[in-house]
Amino acid sequence: MSSIPYLKNDNGQTTLMVDDGPFLILGGEFHNSSGSDLQYLEEHVWPGLRRLGGNCYLTPVYWECMEPEQGRYDFTLVDGVISQARKEGVRLVLLWFGLWKNGASQYIPEWMKKDTDYFYMRGVDGRKVESVSPFCQKAVEADAAAFTVLMRHLREYDVEHTVIMVQVENETGIWGHPRDYCEKAQKAFTSEIPCEMSELYGVSGTWEEAFGQDACEYFMAWALSKAVGEIASEGKKEYDLPLFMNCVAIGLPLRAGQLPSGGPLPRVHKIWRKFAPDIALYGPDIYSPFYKEVSSEFSEANALIVPELSQDKNSASKALYTVAAFNTVCFSPFGIDGMMNGISENDLLAQTNSDLTEKVEKNGLMLAEAYRILHILWNEIREAQQQGNIYAFLQQTEPGTEFVMDDYILNVTFGDGGVRGHLGQPGHRNPDSPAGGGFVIRRDRDTFLVCGIACNVQISPAQGSTDQIFVLRKTEMECGEKELIPRRILNGDERNFTAIGAWPSIQEITFYRR
């Protein structure tokens, strides 16, 4: 019997271990409601996902369905999705939609919704926000009890470890208000800060005296992290699976009230780590155009887990970039079931399935190809990361980028036309083109593996290099079942420019010196 999935830390690299081997989650997150109907999953979700070839999917566990009456638990949906995943040969990450989902309490059971003892947060205007207050200890205990039962059930039922991680709550933080203003919150906010906060930051006084303009956000981070910390620790006592949290991350200097206040952004991780020590990783949900800034900020805080990002024509480029640039544990575009069935998130919201279908499906297939490549190259990528021999790129608004590697210079311009132009002009970018993205691995002194989408990659001798360097061999590579297969030999016109169109492509280039 293999060990329970766990996170291993080695040489500064964090690895999710599943069945005692390293595991990189390449999958996607289901739309919010897909997991509430097992037949829907069978008919509309798994068939599309078979074409994606992900190895793990993120799906919610809805508290309202799991505990329809207080103290009576129903695991039909949980067990159902686990057995479907087993049949499909994939793993699952479960998302505990408990007290908070996107800052609101939409998924609490009906009995709790109707009982005012479980009191809600209040906004700055004194009106109720549809979200249970973290100061409502009775609600926190009810969530902790349900989460504990879920984790116990997983330990007993899921002996094959189909479920490999659990997300606790979903995008916590209060939306639209700097903090909770309910009676209990008011009392706490105007009192002396707790001694743990005092010790953590070396300050004292009330929240405002101690933290000034950060007071509301720190206050919410403290209140929420204590609540989630209690829920997580009760669950983890039952079953020691890795736990993580997601959070809204935009990459702009927004303050409490403009962002879900108190959610686990890196600037309040110190608080979250103190009060919720059982949460191993904090991951960003990246729908913002500042993908690189956000992913890089979170990757400095802990290994990178991206439980949600937009599913669109750029998802495949982001997958190649993310896995190559960071110590990534999970890459998972949101609404993956829609992507593979030609339904975009906007279609779903508008309840139409428009002529976008074909494009959306193409995006899904492009992502599938990126996943195939990453499954094959992941070990090599990790080694190259350890040795500093990998260069990852992703287009946001810039025309290109450059890396210097001793006596070589790597020049990337973005554009899908494949027409960089023999004059070395930046490539065209038609409106349907994906963002350029990918990576280059320096396999040995003179051999490079180029993998990318919509970009033009040129490797040339750096200025001042003493050797004269020429191309010895350039080969197009195809993704086989388990390894790359050499195909066309690229010479002549194709040798001079490594122009990659709007589809993932791999080429190996070896130079010689004389």
Give the number of residues in contact with ligand DGJ, rule: CB under 6 A: 8
Amino acid in the structure at residue 57:
Y
Nearest distance, CB of residue 139 and ligand DGJ, angstroms: 20
Nearer to ligand DGJ, 171 or 508 (CB): 171
Return the bridge partners of 478, or none: 485
Binder to ligand DGJ among 143, 217, 278, 308 (CB under 6 A)?
Answer: 308
334 binds ligand DGJ (CB under 6 A): yes
- Residues 274, 335: Cα–Cα separation, whole Å: 33
Binder to ligand DGJ among 169, 180, 230, 285 (CB under 6 A)?
Answer: 285
Q: Which residue in this structure is represented by tokens 């709790």?
A: 112
148 in Cβ contact with 243 (< 8 Å): no
Nearest distance, CB of residue 418 and ligand DGJ, angstroms: 33
Beta pairing, strands 408-414 & 455-461: antiparallel
Q: How many helices (H) and strands (E) does the chain have?
A: 17, 24
- Residues 16, 193: Cα–Cα separation, whole Å: 37
170 binds ligand DGJ (CB under 6 A): yes
Nearer to ligand DGJ, 185 or 286 (CB): 286
Q: Please give the residue whose beta carbon sits closest to ligand DGJ in the complex.
A: 171
Taking residue 203's Cβ as centre, other Cβ atoms within 10 Å add up to: 14
Nearest distance, CB of residue 97 and ligand DGJ, angstroms: 8
Nearest distance, CB of residue 177 and ligand DGJ, angstroms: 19
- Strands across the sheet with 408-414, in order? 400-405, 408-414, 455-461, 498-500
Interface map 345-364 toward ligand DGJ (x if CB under 6 A): x-------------------
Nearer to ligand DGJ, 63 or 439 (CB): 63
175 in Cβ contact with 106 (< 8 Å): no
171 binds ligand DGJ (CB under 6 A): yes
Nearest distance, CB of residue 336 and ligand DGJ, angstroms: 12
Beta pairing, strands 308-309 & 390-394: unpaired
Of the candidates 299, 302, 331, 334, the one whose C-alpha atom is nearest the C-alpha of residue 318 is 331
32 binds ligand DGJ (CB under 6 A): yes
Nearest distance, CB of residue 250 and ligand DGJ, angstroms: 12
- Residues 440, 449: Cα–Cα separation, whole Å: 5
Nearer to ligand DGJ, 32 or 148 (CB): 32
Residues lying near ligand DGJ in the complex (CB under 6 A) are found at 32, 102, 170-171, 285, 308, 334, 345
